[in-house]
Amino acid sequence: MKLAHMVCAGAMLLAGGAAAQDGGKAITKTTISLGTATPGGGFPVYGDAFTEVMNAADPTLSIEPRNTTGSNENIPLLEQDKLDIALVAGEPSYEAFMGIGRPATRLKILTAMYSSPGMFVVRADSPYKTIRDLVGQPVAFGAKGSGLPILSRYILDGIGLKQDEDFKSIYLDRAGDGPAMVQDGRAAALWGAGIGWPGFAAMAAAPGGARFIAPDAGEIAQVRAKHTFLKPLTVPANSYPNQPTAIASIGSWSFVLVRESLPDDVAYRLAKTLHGAEGDLCKRLPQACETTAVNTVAAAPNVGLIHPGVLKYFREIGVVK
């Protein structure tokens, strides 16, 4: 859905649609479509929190989340103006921005979402202790259209392994199907990323518990030597049940991207509303505590990839000079 029936009046951009009531006065809302991913993964959880907080912070906004197959569908939908904003994992974002395997995209960044340290999870009674122990085993690498399989492919390539040759790779129709496959033995491990990721939470809370497998220090160094855009990241202790110590890993930042044609004043308004609501978003969803203006500037491959309307607001608050 595009921004619904836009009417420009001076510097204000108003979208047509049902008018809300506020103290007897009609409020014309700007409707914005938000692409997320398949149910059971982290993107729909984040999308719901983002929608709830943003709509509450600005009653003239109506952000409407929409389930998609994930990052690899969200990018072309944005490019075709079939979505206004969408959640996209770090690796698909990077490939699109850099033109790897495709023409470079003209999409822009609204905000960094959260960092995504990647790792595997296995049942606590599993014999597997390292990534190489999983070679030859069936591994669920995430939903088909999501960015998770791309992240794992980069990390495995960095340590000399091939995802579809060295493992019996499983790609899910629904992200939420992964934990059950590990629990009943159809998969030896589930790959995922992030803090508060639903698949990890489900595994950690299951009877018998779970154990995480991340690249060790040597493997992290190998990966970074080959794929320098990936960054060392840490899963803090107690991010999941029965996880008493921090886990060092590697990964990237996910982003909320916007279509190139999103007007500057709308992007400015979204950035301003989001900045004012950072605290509320953090309370609503722990991993969204990383959704800040400062992190957006730090996580962007370069500042020029941030939407001009967002940059205008960032300059006003001193985040960008």
3-state secondary structure of 253: strand
Residue 240 and residue 112: Cα distance in Å, rounded?
23
- Report the topology of domain 6-115+253-316: D-Maltodextrin-Binding Protein; domain 2 (3.40.190)
Within this chain, domains 6-115+253-316 and 116-252 share the same CATH topology: yes
Q: Domain ranges for the chain, please list them.
A: 6-115+253-316, 116-252
Question: Which two tokens mark 154?
Answer: 């980069």
Q: What angle (nearest 5°) sits at the alpha carbon of residue 88, between those of residues 175 and 163?
A: 55
pLDDT by residue (tens digit) across 209-244?
Answer: 999 999 999 999 999 999 999 999 999 999 999 899
pLDDT by residue (tens digit) across 152-165?
Answer: 999 999 999 999 99
Residue type at position 65: P
pLDDT at 28: 83
4 has a pLDDT exceeding 50: no
pTM of the model: 0.81
| Separation of first and last alpha carbons in the chain | 34
Higher local confidence (pLDDT), 4 or 98: 98
The torsion of the CA quartet 9, 13, 18, 24, rounded to 10 degrees, works out to -70
pLDDT by residue (tens digit) across 257-290?
Answer: 999 999 999 999 999 999 999 999 999 999 999 9
Higher local confidence (pLDDT), 27 or 18: 27
Q: Is the torsion defined by CA of 56, 27, 84, 307 positive or negative? A: negative
Residue 56 and residue 39: Cα distance in Å, rounded?
23
Q: Which stretches within the chain are classed as H helix?
A: 42-57, 71-79, 90-98, 148-158, 163-166, 178-183, 198-205, 217-226, 264-276, 278-284, 293-299, 308-316
Q: In the structure, what pLDDT confidence band is assigned to residue 145 with cuts at 50, 70 and 90?
A: confident
2 has a pLDDT exceeding 50: no
Say which DSSP state 180 is in.
H
CATH of domain 116-252: 3.40.190.10
